[in-house]
Chains A and B, each alone.
Chain A
Amino acid sequence: MNNRAMIQLEQVTKIFNAGRVNEITALNNVSLQINEGEFVIIIGANGSGKTTLFNTIAGSVIPTKGKVFIAGENVTFLPDFKRSKYIARVFQNPFDGTAPDLTILDNFRLAALRTQPKHLTIGNTTAFKKRVREVIARLNWGLENKLNQPMGTLSGGQRQALTLLMCIMDNTKILLLDEPTAALDPKSAEIILNTAQHLIQEYHLTAIFITHNLKDAQQYGNRLLQIHEGKLVRDLDATAKQKVLLQNMYEWFG
């Protein structure tokens, strides 16, 4: 980890339904710097603004005010598909991160081209298949022998694990994990989070992990943020985070 800013938010405000009776200020003047190599955990109650913050970084939400920088580039108005040159995502819904009708191999082929143009050439070569097998084999689930199976035939846990592995196919810098284990059984959840942690260390990724599970918030990451009513109310570095007890975190939620 170093002090080079990978993600910067400058006084970001996001108001939904502005001027209407159902106006919501999801983010209120949030400034934040996340440095290269940091593994940031974000916690907060439902409706606190976690997902809006996440989507503002990913590019799915354009802020009402303020600026967003990634690796020094002002990306405030850059749509999500263009920000993918920096960012790889694992969605909350295991079915959002993969295409069910495409084979495992085809899904990985697209992931390998995340930052590159998709040409009219056949890229699923023998060498590429070998590479995909090697990547998938680290799960020890035997999926490396089912590359031609449609993704839709796999379980939610398997698909989420493969989505995670797809993130490392094209030299990503930032990994966004949006409650990736919320819909999974405890065993699958543990495998996915452990795999995520290994990948973050192995590939020196900058990572953000949103979770409602306070045990996970305590166990993983080297920085902890809490959001409440659209504002960052707590920002703990690695040392301070290590000292936090589970009981303390429960108390933060009132």
Chain B
Amino acid sequence: MEFYLSALVLSLCLGAMSMGVFISMRIFNIPDITTDGSYTLGAAVTALLLVQHWPVYIVVLISMLSGSLAGICTAFIHTKLKIDALLAGILVMTGLYSINLIIMGRSNIPLINLHTLFSYIQIFPHSIYNTLATGIIIIGAFAILLWYILLTDFGIAMRATGNSSSMTRSLGINNNKMKIIGLAMANALTALSGSLVAQYQNFTDINMGIGIVIVGLGSVLIADALRIWFNIVAIGAQIALVIAGSFIFQMVLAVTLSLGVDPNILKLVTALFVLLIVALPRVKNVLKPNE
């Protein structure tokens, strides 16, 4: 049971990144690979400051700011230098690997016996329930905040930017400015995710972000499939589906591991699972072209 609860906690921690990928991919229609770098950046900054005993809420805030800076770099390269968003993300992600190493000073930092966000709630006798409650509160708060932002006039302008750039320009919206703000928000959430995972797992590793974007992508694709299936339009429900997507994704991985699959091929399972989500509707079209 605790194994699955751990997967649930991890899915909540990664839910922040999924919300970030939702912003970049679904709201702005930008394939942002910066995620791999900004996720580790959030964890690296968290490790650096936690071991120096900075207050944890300031640590998380600085981690998110560092992530947003990474997003701004990608957006700046994309919008101002007119370089393809995918390449811009790859460039920043590559650069961040070295920056993260410089921040950490070594490839791995343990965070044992340090005061983290997960140390605050001590209500339940089993620590996993306290951790779970903390995760629900943090991710719930950020989900509600994101929901509110996307419902505001500014949020509507953000959503329109990735949807119809000609329309937004004709309505006085600076698309480039919106993309910069959007990628800053997306990568701040990704860095939050990295920070939470580092605090939950009690260590930061330089390679922890490699391929992590696929987890966010998979969560958003699962959410997309559910959104289309249930014909959901409301933006709040879409955010909830993204978090649910993150949960489903982690549960699939947990079940895979519990079936005795070699952990070394977990990334392959992850990739195949995402491929399955993307390919299923297409396979259906190939098999029954007249439907």
Contacts and interface: CB of A to CB of B under 8 A. Distances in A.
Contact of B163 (A58, A79, A81, A100): A100
Q: Which of B151, B166, B167 has the most CB of A within 10 A?
A: B167
A102 B155 CA distance: 11
A102 B173 contact: no
Interface string A81-99: 1101101110100011111
Contacts of B169: 60, 79-81, 84
Contacts, number: 98
Contact of A109 (B153, B174, B175, B233): B153
Interface stretch (A31-39, A115-123, A212-220): A115-123
B238 to A, nearest CB: 10
B179 interface: no
Interface residues of A, number: 38
A97 B163 contact: no
Contacts of B175: 81
B163 A119 contact: no
Interface string B169-193: 1111111000000000000000000
Contact of B233 (A107, A123, A150): A150
B167 A84 contact: no
B78 interface: no
Given A106-B156, A150-B233, A99 B163 contact: yes
A111 interface: yes
B21 interface: no
Contacts of B170: 58, 80-81, 84, 87-89, 91, 97, 114
B152 A110 contact: no
B233 A82 contact: no
A110 B163 contact: no
A182 B166 CA distance: 18
Contacts of B157: 110, 113, 118
B133 interface: no
A99 B153 contact: no
Chain A contact residues: helix, strand, loop or mixed: loop
Contact of B172 (A84, A107, A124): A84
A95 B56 CA distance: 48
A145 to B, nearest CB: 16
Contact of B173 (A91, A107, A110, A150): A110
Given A96-B166, A99-B160, A106-B159, A81 B174 contact: yes
Given A96-B164, A97-B166, A148-B233, A102 B172 contact: no
18 contacts: A58-B170, A84-B171, A91-B170, A98-B164, A100-B164, A106-B156, A106-B160, A107-B160, A110-B156, A110-B160, A111-B171, A113-B157, A114-B171, A118-B157, A120-B155, A122-B148, A123-B152, A148-B233
